[in-house]
Amino acid sequence: MSILTTREAVVRKMDDLLKERNMNLHQLSRASGVLYDTLKKLRSRDNNSVTLAIVIQIASGFNMTLSEFVDDPMFSEDNLK
């Protein structure tokens, strides 16, 4: 696995869950309370950082806790820069 920024790891996890749950960004926006434009900018690299509050909201949009969302090898210290 390549070294990722936190934003890249969050976007990869978000995209994996969107695909797995057959959801789109609009549905995630409604479920999480995160503005669609914020999700779109996060995904398109217009925003190079992501806050913990946004990650918590994204996780809740997937009916997950923050711990469940980041329980993935891509979030390990060795994989993040």
pTM (2 d.p.):
0.91
Residue type, position 33, single letter: G
Report pLDDT digits (tens) over 13-56. Answer: 999 999 999 999 999 999 999 999 999 999 887 777 889 999 99
Longest dimension (CA), the chain: 33
**Domain covering 6-79, topology:** 434 Repressor (Amino-terminal Domain) (1.10.260)
Residues 6+ apart with CB under 8 A from 45: 7
Report how far apart, in Å, the C-alpha atoms of 37 and of each of 40, 53, 69 are.
5, 16, 21
Cβ(79)–Cβ(9) below 8 Å: yes
Provide the pLDDT for residue 60.
98
